[in-house]
Amino acid sequence: MVKMQPYVKMWYDYLEEGKIMGLKCKKCGAYEFPPVPVCNSCSGTDLEWVEMKGTGKLISFSIMQLMDKVQVKYGRRYIGQVQLTEGPAFTATLEDFDLNKREELYDRLPADVNLGIMQFDGFKFVSFKLKD
């Protein structure tokens, strides 16, 4: 069993409830996503949980070949860098896009995306899908 810091556990608990949450600095208004307890913009430590808009832009991607037991279920998949509407960028899995169409995906960059929640080995993770 993985031992999580309290704010990390809260993040996963929110995902179980279907909510994609981040932390917002009360001092300068910057967002931290995934959540960290200290603001990267002003070093403030007074942050509050806020629901993220769930939108952003895919700015880069690669195809990852998983080489552990997870591969049995997922094998190869896209991993992308998403710049959220609120500012932070994070890395996540792209769902529902053909692995053989990577040049089409490249041509669409920066592509508008919606965040989603993906079940993965007993945890829920933030993923994303392309907007139509």
Which residues contact Zn ion (rule: CB under 5 A)?
Answer: 25, 27-28, 30, 39, 41-42, 44
Residue 128's SS3 state is strand
- What are the beta bridge partners of residue 61? 80
Element (H, E) at 123: strand 123-130
Our CB check for Zn ion shows the closer of 5 and 43 to be 43
- What are the beta bridge partners of residue 115? 128
Residue 97: count of CB within 10 angstroms of its CB: 19
Distance separating alpha carbons of residues 77 and 98, to the nearest angstrom: 9
- Count the residues in the chain: 132
Please, what is the minimum distance in Å from the beta carbon of residue 47 to Zn ion? 8
Our CB check for Zn ion shows the closer of 41 and 81 to be 41
Scanning the structure block, which residue is given the tokens 């960028």?
Answer: 89
**Residue 82, token pair as written in the block:** 């998403």
Our CB check for Zn ion shows the closer of 15 and 25 to be 25
Please, what is the minimum distance in Å from the beta carbon of residue 112 to Zn ion? 27
Please, what is the minimum distance in Å from the beta carbon of residue 7 to Zn ion? 16
Please, what is the minimum distance in Å from the beta carbon of residue 44 to Zn ion? 4
Our CB check for Zn ion shows the closer of 48 and 132 to be 48
